[in-house]
């Protein structure tokens, strides 16, 4: 059962009026006619709703996002920005009312090219009550939401000593998470006059905070329930729709719901940040990489949200891959506003953009130096024990990147296939390679807590605050608890998130569920185990360290007396002193990265530019693999999204800033006809800080396809594409241009 | 208008708007397995059976089902559960949002095609999108499930026959759009 399936019967249906302009002010708005439509409960404009600046992003304290939104604003900042809310008994009535709202706009000049945004005289957030986040160094009077400039060593001095220096610029565009369940939420008032928000969200606790801020009411007045959710991939790490039913129900006292259309999900959702990534790479003739410099400009769109936090990953989760050798790096990052829809979180969270740029440049460098691209990586890659200066100065405790490379080469038969072969039909078969890394949580910041209770008969309830966003994480967590308690997974009942009941968790993101929440589960389960033996010792009249527990029976090793867990649990139903439940958790000072190597083999038709991936091999080091089937499917799913991103997915706009991609006809995601042969393998390193040695896997898997495919296309055509997606048309053009250049030369 | 529909084996009489979609009709009658994922007939989440044939319920008027038999996942619990086990075992049930529509089509395929080849399976199910799984696990599950059903005696090749059925299936899909 998903959020919409559980919405209260007969609740109000909400529909939204959206701005037709990329940048405008509402001059006047007349809702009188709309309100007359039978069945219409209310029509709300900026004049009718509380005005408190807030953010929709789900970010852990310290607040990382600027407060730059109202529930509804007079100032409209993208095509699709919300102008008015209609709530009615039926969808029909709501739609009819929408058409009767009369709005006059003052159209403002817009910034549709984010490269022109910084210090532009057009300001997207000129407002005086714009509040900066706690640490992002943004400035609304410059259209900036984030700035960072860090370095280790003197890059310029080292570049001057290098035999070869490459400077390349890349462009990645907004792509859609395209989770199958659109954005949706519903609300009602409970018997105590509190607002209940039932939402398909990855961040229930942040929804509570954000909505309290938006409505200007205490957090204690809000309860957020998260049922099963139909995919998120980061999209639902932003509270995209919650404010609409929240304000309607808060003002009317009646239950209400919203279920976005696919079109709304695509034009007013939370797509991946568009970025320009400029890379400068210095190496010696023998292939030693000595210095890396990266400048990133990110387009957050109309609102700040995840803009300050995604961009860092472009550098922090790409540069350390070469941490084995380089002597200096510099990373400069700016995130700016524009009149595009607000960007958000999408699997990889900034890392795919940086990795695409850096890996392409390394592949170009290998070609320039005439070195096999896998060799240049073997020479320079990160090894266990290396210090990752571009990654919070953490040490790579567990890293099997070298083994992943060796295994992946074997699976692909790289040495025989690299670089390319022409088939009798004129098509070209070629291969490409890329490496990737990610994090396992946000260190020191993310927080996971878990409660495990023992019930009568000795079965357990597991309460986690982290949400299963459709990745099977509840299964993995239950499995971990079952391992510690030596019981069957079926003896553990996992409970969805309810902010009234569940222990606090910063949310399902940054790949943190297995690592951080997993650690909390193990901690809680171990404590509960101790408590169980302690209680049994009292009854068996012995010392607690004399009691052995095999998951079912407790035995005193000295006297041989024993009792079942079931008896113990039932006896303790009366007169126990509260030990039956344990809450444990905390954060982590480190975020140990998973690593991987991916290789693509493609079939390229030079006549049309059509690229068909025929084989993808990948080897992942995610620490100990807790559940091989789920890890494998996570990898396959991520790879398919990555292939979509590489070859055809991406938003595009008209000159007026209108989204061209509004549905699945226009925005193609991979279907089952598009799957190449995928081979997945794991090389396990043991991460000492992780639960059973595990790290994360959820995000990293999307990172390699774009650069590996770009590399394969380069090996087939001699053209390295610097912009995603690499459509057939671009490939064809590249080939023609190359031909012309050759003729001229 | 009044319609009479046999929904999962039970006749229902209801008064509906003439433009009500079959999808909304099913959900209104507590068949919440029927999901909506798009407005352009591209996702397959809303697949139900009309007189035993899979249709996209977002693309069919409820009025069209008047006097006919509609089956949703709720009406096929046993079979769905069996295939669902195979899917879960392969890790192919992730968020699960695509599953009801997908399973309806898999079960329809089983009825329509004997010994389908991989291409036929892929083609039959091409309209069912899944964003989580990457599809490979679906294929593994289907193979294992079909193998478990197959009796040794039936292991002959029916490919040519299948091709014709496939064609008929695709053509029938095309005509559905004009309903
Ligand atoms: S809802 Fe997408 S095909 Fe019917
Ligand atoms: S399992 Fe999530 S869309 Fe298929």
pLDDT in tens, B13-69: 999 999 999 999 999 999 999 999 999 999 999 999 999 999 999 999 999 999 999
Q: What pLDDT is attached to residue A581?
A: 85
CA of A247 to the centre of ligand 1 (A): 30
Dist CA B170 CA B123 (whole Å): 9
Is pLDDT of A675 > 50?
A: yes
- The pTM assigned to this predicted structure is 0.93
Q: Are A351 and A314 in contact (CB under 8 A)?
A: yes
Chain B positions touching A471 (Cβ under 8 A) are 94-95, 132
Q: What pLDDT is attached to residue B170?
A: 42
Q: Are A546 and A537 in contact (CB under 8 A)?
A: yes
Q: What pLDDT is attached to residue A586?
A: 73
Among A259, A261, A673, the residue with its CB nearest the CB of B126 is A673
Q: What pLDDT is attached to residue A509?
A: 63
Is pLDDT of A647 > 90?
A: yes
Find where tokens 């394969």 sit: A712
Residues B109/B115/B119/B123 CA torsion (nearest 10 deg): -10
Cis before B165? omega within 30: no
Q: Are A481 and A470 in contact (CB under 8 A)?
A: no
Dist CA A190 CA A734 (whole Å): 61
Q: What pLDDT is attached to residue A209?
A: 95
Asked if residue B38 has its Cβ within 6 Å of ligand 1, the reply is yes
- Strand partners of residue A582: A452
Q: What pLDDT is attached to residue A485?
A: 93
Residue A675 contacts B where some CB pair is shorter than 8 Å: yes
Q: What pLDDT is attached to residue B177?
A: 29
Tokens of A591: 């975020």
Asked if residue B137 has its Cβ within 6 Å of ligand 2, the reply is no
SS3 state at A588: coil
Select from A210, A177, A200 the least CA-distant residue to A69: A210
Sorting pLDDT into bands at 50, 70 and 90, what band is A745? confident
The best mutation among A178, A231, A630 to test binding of ligand 2, ranked by most ligand atoms within 8 Å of the C-beta, falls on: A231
Sorting pLDDT into bands at 50, 70 and 90, what band is B179? very low
Is pLDDT of A232 > 80?
A: yes
Look at chain A and count its residues: 745
Chain B positions touching A175 (Cβ under 8 A) are none
Crossing angle for the helix pair B118-125 and B136-149, to the nearest 10 degrees: 120
Dump the DSSP string for A458-524. Answer: G-EEEEESS---SSSHHHHHHHHHHHHHT--GGGEEEE-EETTTSPPB--S-TTHIIIIIHHHHHHH
Dist CA A610 CA A603 (whole Å): 8
Contact at CB, A181 and B90, closer than 8 angstroms: no
Burial pattern A173-182, b for ≥16 Cβ within 10 A else e, equals bbbbbbbbbb
Sorting pLDDT into bands at 50, 70 and 90, what band is B167? very low
Q: What pLDDT is attached to residue B164?
A: 53
> According to DSSP H, which parts of B51-158 are helical?
77-89, 99-112, 118-125, 136-149
Q: Which residues fall within 8 angstroms of residue B171, CB to CB, at 6 or more apart?
A: none
Find where tokens 């319609």 sit: B3
Q: Which residues fall within 8 angstroms of residue B72, CB to CB, at 6 or more apart?
A: B7, B8, B26, B31, B33, B34, B48, B49, B100, B104
Q: What pLDDT is attached to residue A739?
A: 94
Select from A737, A631, A608 the least CA-distant residue to A694: A631
SS3 state at A257: strand
Chain A positions touching B92 (Cβ under 8 A) are 633
Dist CA A24 CA A396 (whole Å): 50
Residue A20 has, within 13 A of its CA and on its CB side, a CA count of 5
Q: What is the average per-residue pLDDT within A335-357?
A: 97
Is pLDDT of A35 > 70?
A: yes
Q: What pLDDT is attached to residue B68?
A: 98
User: Burial, A17: exposed, middle or buried (Cβ in 10 Å; 0-12, 13-18, 19+)?
Assistant: buried
Dist CA A406 CA A414 (whole Å): 10
Q: What pLDDT is attached to residue A688?
A: 82
Report the top-level CATH class of B76-173.
Answer: mainly alpha
CA of A181 to the centre of ligand 1 (A): 11
Dump the DSSP string for A141-206. Answer: GGTEEEEEEEEES-HHHHHHH-SEEEEEEEEE-------SS--EEEEEE-TTSPEEEEE--S-HHH
The lowest-confidence range among A323-332, A684-693, B18-27 is: A684-693
Residues B160/B162/B163/B166 CA torsion (nearest 10 deg): 170
Is pLDDT of B178 > 50?
A: no
Q: What pLDDT is attached to residue A571?
A: 85
Contact at CB, A231 and B131, closer than 8 angstroms: yes
Longest dimension (CA), chain B: 52
SS3 content of chain B, % helix, strand, coil (to 5): 50, 15, 35
Is pLDDT of A507 > 70?
A: no
Dist CA B89 CA A503 (whole Å): 30
Q: What pLDDT is attached to residue A577?
A: 63
Closest chain B residue to A678 measured between Cα atoms? B136
Dist CA A200 CA A185 (whole Å): 6
Q: What pLDDT is attached to residue B49?
A: 98
Dist CA A555 CA A563 (whole Å): 7
Q: What is the average per-residue pLDDT within A309-313?
A: 94
Asked if residue B127 has its Cβ within 6 Å of ligand 1, the reply is no
Q: Nearest CA of chain A to the CA of B174: how many Å?
A: 16
Asked if residue B97 has its Cβ within 6 Å of ligand 2, the reply is yes
- Strand partners of residue A548: A555
Q: Are A473 and A516 in contact (CB under 8 A)?
A: no
Sorting pLDDT into bands at 50, 70 and 90, what band is A547? very high
Determine what percent of chain B is predicted with pLDDT higher than 70: 84
Span A153-204, pLDDT tens digits: 999 999 999 999 999 999 999 999 999 999 999 999 999 999 999 999 999 9
Q: Are B56 and B175 in contact (CB under 8 A)?
A: no
Select from A261, A506, A723, A609 the least CA-distant residue to B58: A261
Asked if residue A180 has its Cβ within 6 Å of ligand 2, the reply is yes
Q: What is the average per-residue pLDDT within A554-562?
A: 92
Select from A601, A607, A611, A610 the least CA-distant residue to A739: A607
Contact at CB, A181 and B122, closer than 8 angstroms: no
Q: Are B74 and B80 in contact (CB under 8 A)?
A: no
Chain B positions touching A698 (Cβ under 8 A) are none
Q: What is the average per-residue pLDDT within A360-388?
A: 96
Whether ipTM > 0.90 holds is: yes
Closest chain B residue to A664 measured between Cα atoms? B42
Q: Are A184 and A1 in contact (CB under 8 A)?
A: no
Q: What is the average per-residue pLDDT within A98-106?
A: 98
Q: What is the average per-residue pLDDT within A468-494?
A: 84
Q: What pLDDT is attached to residue A136?
A: 78
Asked if residue B176 has its Cβ within 6 Å of ligand 2, the reply is no
CATH of domain A448-484+501-586: 3.30.365.10
Q: Nearest CA of chain B to the CA of A635: how many Å?
A: 8
Find where tokens 């209770």 sit: A453
A391 phi/psi in degrees, rounded to 5: -130, 70
Alpha carbon nearest to ligand 1 atom 3, residue: B41
Contact at CB, A179 and B129, closer than 8 angstroms: no
Is pLDDT of B158 > 70?
A: no
Select from A322, A294, A442, A308 the least CA-distant residue to A389: A322
**Domain regions of chain B by residue span:** 2-74, 76-173
Contact at CB, A636 and B136, closer than 8 angstroms: yes
Chain A positions touching B43 (Cβ under 8 A) are 180, 262, 664
Residue A29: count other Cβ atoms within 10 Å of its Cβ.
18
Contact at CB, B38 and A259, closer than 8 angstroms: no
Sorting pLDDT into bands at 50, 70 and 90, what band is A314? very high
Select from A677, A682, A685 the least CA-distant residue to A623: A685
- Strand partners of residue A553: A564
Sorting pLDDT into bands at 50, 70 and 90, what band is B156? very low
Is pLDDT of A587 > 90?
A: no
Q: Which of A540-554, B56-70, B86-100 has the highest mean pLDDT?
A: B56-70
Determine what percent of chain A is predicted with pLDDT higher than 70: 97
Q: What is the average per-residue pLDDT within B129-155?
A: 85
Average pLDDT, chain B: 87
Among A1, A469, A633, the residue with its CB nearest the CB of B137 is A633
CATH of domain B2-74: 3.10.20.30
Among B37, B122, B135, the residue with its CB nearest the CB of A262 is B37
Atom nearest to B95 CA in ligand 2: 2
**Between A76 and A502, residue with greater pLDDT:** A76
Is pLDDT of B173 > 50?
A: no
Is pLDDT of A9 > 90?
A: yes
Is pLDDT of A721 > 60?
A: yes
Residue A443: count other Cβ atoms within 10 Å of its Cβ.
19
Is pLDDT of B154 > 70?
A: no
Could you say which residues from 160 to 199 on chain A have a Cβ atom under 8 Å away from some Cβ of chain B? Answer: 177-182
Atom nearest to A231 CA in ligand 2: 2
Any idea what DSSP says for residue A319?
A: G
Q: What pLDDT is attached to residue A391?
A: 87
Tokens of A320: 């350390």
To 5 degrees, how large is the angle CA A734–CA A739–CA A742?
Answer: 125
Q: What pLDDT is attached to residue A276?
A: 98
Q: What pLDDT is attached to residue A510?
A: 55
CA of B93 to the centre of ligand 2 (A): 7
Dist CA A309 CA A299 (whole Å): 12
Determine what percent of chain A is predicted with pLDDT higher than 90: 78
Dist CA A462 CA A466 (whole Å): 11
Average pLDDT, chain A: 93
Residues B58/B64/B65/B68 CA torsion (nearest 10 deg): -140
Look at chain B and count its residues: 179
Find where tokens 């690229």 sit: A611
Ligand nearest to the CA of B60: 1
Distances (CA, A) of A221 to A52, A224, A500: 17, 10, 11
Q: Are B132 and A231 in contact (CB under 8 A)?
A: yes
């Amino acid at each position: 059962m998903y959020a919409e399936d559980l919405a209260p019967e007969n609740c109000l249906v909400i529909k939204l009026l959206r701005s037709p302009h990329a940048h405008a002010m509402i001059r006047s708005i007349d809702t009188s006619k709309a309100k007359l439509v039978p069945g219409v409960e209310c029509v709300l404009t900026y004049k009718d709703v509380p005005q408190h600046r807030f953010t929709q992003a789900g970010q852990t304290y310290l607040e990382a996002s600027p407060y730059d939104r109202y529930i509804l604003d007079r100032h409209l900042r993208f095509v699709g920005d919300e102008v008015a809310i209609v709530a009615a008994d039926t969808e029909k009535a709501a739609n009819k009312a929408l058409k009767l709202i009369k709005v006059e706009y003052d159209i403002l000049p817009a910034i549709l090219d984010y490269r022109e945004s910084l210090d532009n005289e057009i300001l997207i957030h000129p407002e005086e009550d714009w509040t900066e986040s706690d640490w992002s160094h943004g400035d609304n009077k410059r259209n900036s939401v984030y700035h960072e400039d860090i370095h280790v060593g003197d890059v310029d001095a080292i570049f001057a000593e290098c035999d070869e220096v490459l400077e390349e610029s890349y462009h990645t565009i907004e792509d859609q998470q395209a989770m199958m369940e659109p954005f949706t939420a519903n609300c009602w008032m409970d018997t105590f006059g509190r607002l209940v928000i039932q939402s398909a969200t990855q961040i229930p606790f942040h929804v509570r905070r954000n909505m309290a801020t938006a409505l200007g009411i205490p957090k204690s007045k809000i309860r957020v329930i998260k049922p099963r959710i139909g995919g998120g991939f980061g999209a639902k790490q932003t509270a995209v729709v919650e404010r609409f039913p929240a304000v309607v129900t808060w003002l009317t006292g009646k239950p209400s719901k919203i279920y976005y259309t696919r079109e709304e999900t695509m034009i007013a959702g939370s797509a991946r940040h568009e970025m320009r990534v400029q890379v400068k790479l210095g190496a010696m003739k023998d292939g030693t990489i000595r210095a890396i410099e990266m400048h990133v400009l990110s387009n957050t769109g109309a609102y700040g949200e995840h803009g300050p936090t995604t961009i860092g990953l472009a550098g922090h989760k790409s540069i350390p891959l070469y941490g084995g050798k380089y002597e200096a790096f510099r990373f400069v990052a700016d995130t700016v506003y524009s009149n595009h829809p607000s960007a958000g979180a999408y699997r990889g969270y900034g890392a795919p953009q940086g990795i695409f740029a850096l890996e392409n440049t390394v592949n170009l460098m290998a070609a320039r130096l005439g070195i096999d691209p896998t060799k240049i990586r073997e020479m320079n890659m990160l090894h266990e024990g290396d210090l990752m200066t571009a990654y919070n100065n953490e040490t790579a405790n567990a890293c099997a990147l070298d083994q992943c490379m060796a295994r992946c080469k074997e699976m692909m038969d790289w040495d025989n296939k690299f670089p390319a072969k022409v088939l009798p039909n004129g098509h070209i078969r070629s291969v490409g390679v890329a490496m990737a890394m990610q994090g396992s949580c946000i260190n020191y910041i993310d927080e996971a807590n878990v409660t495990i209770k023992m019930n009568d008969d000795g079965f357990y309830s597991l309460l986690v605050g982290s949400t299963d966003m459709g990745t099977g994480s509840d299964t993995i967590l239950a499995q971990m608890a079952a391992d510690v308690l030596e019981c069957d997974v079926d003896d553990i009942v996992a409970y969805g998130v309810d902010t009234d009941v569940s222990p606090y968790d910063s949310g399902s993101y940054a790949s943190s569920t297995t690592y951080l929440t997993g650690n909390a589960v193990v901690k809680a389960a171990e404590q509960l185990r101790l408590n169980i033996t302690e209680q049994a010792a009292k009854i068996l009249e012995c010392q607690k360290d004399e009691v052995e527990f095999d998951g079912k029976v407790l035995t005193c090793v000295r006297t041989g007396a024993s009792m079942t867990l079931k008896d113990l649990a039932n006896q303790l139903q009366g007169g126990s002193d509260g030990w039956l439940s344990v809450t444990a958790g905390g954060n982590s000072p480190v975020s140990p990265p998973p690593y991987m190597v991916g290789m693509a083999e493609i079939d390229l038709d030079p006549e049309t530019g059509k690229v068909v991936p025929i084989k993808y091999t990948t080897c992942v080091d995610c620490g100990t693999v807790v559940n091989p089937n789920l890890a494998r499917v996570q990898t396959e799913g991520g790879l398919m999204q990555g292939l979509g991103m590489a070859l055809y997915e991406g938003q595009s706009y008209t000159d007026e800033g209108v989204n061209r991609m509004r549905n699945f006809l226009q925005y193609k995601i991979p279907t089952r006809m598009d799957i190449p042969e995928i081979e997945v393998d794991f090389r396990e390193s043991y991460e000492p800080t992780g639960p059973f040695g595990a790290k994360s896997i959820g995000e990293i898997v999307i990172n390699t396809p774009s650069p590996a495919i770009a590399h394969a296309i380069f090996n087939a055509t001699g053209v390295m594409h610097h912009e995603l997606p690499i459509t057939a048309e671009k490939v064809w053009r590249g080939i023609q241009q190359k031909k012309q250049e050759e003729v001229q030369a | 208008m009044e319609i009479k529909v046999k929904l999962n084996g039970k006749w229902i009489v209801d008064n509906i708007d003439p433009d009500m979609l079959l999808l909304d009709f099913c959900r209104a009658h507590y068949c919440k397995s029927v999901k909506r994922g798009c407005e352009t007939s591209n996702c397959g989440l809303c697949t139900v059976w009309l007189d035993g044939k899979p249709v996209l319920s977002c693309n069919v008027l409820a009025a069209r089902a008047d006097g006919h038999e509609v089956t949703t996942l709720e009406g096929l619990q046993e079979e769905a559960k069996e295939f669902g086990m195979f899917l879960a075992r392969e890790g192919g049930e992730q968020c699960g949002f695509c599953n009801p529509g997908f399973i309806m089509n898999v079960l329809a395929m089983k009825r329509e095609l004997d010994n389908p080849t991989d291409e036929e399976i892929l083609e039959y199910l091409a309209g069912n999108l899944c964003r989580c799984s990457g599809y490979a696990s679906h294929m593994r599950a289907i193979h294992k499930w079909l193998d478990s059903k197959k009796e040794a005696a039936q292991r002959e090749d029916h490919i040519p026959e299948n091709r014709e059925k496939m064609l008929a299936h695709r053509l029938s899909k095309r005509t559905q759009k004009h309903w």
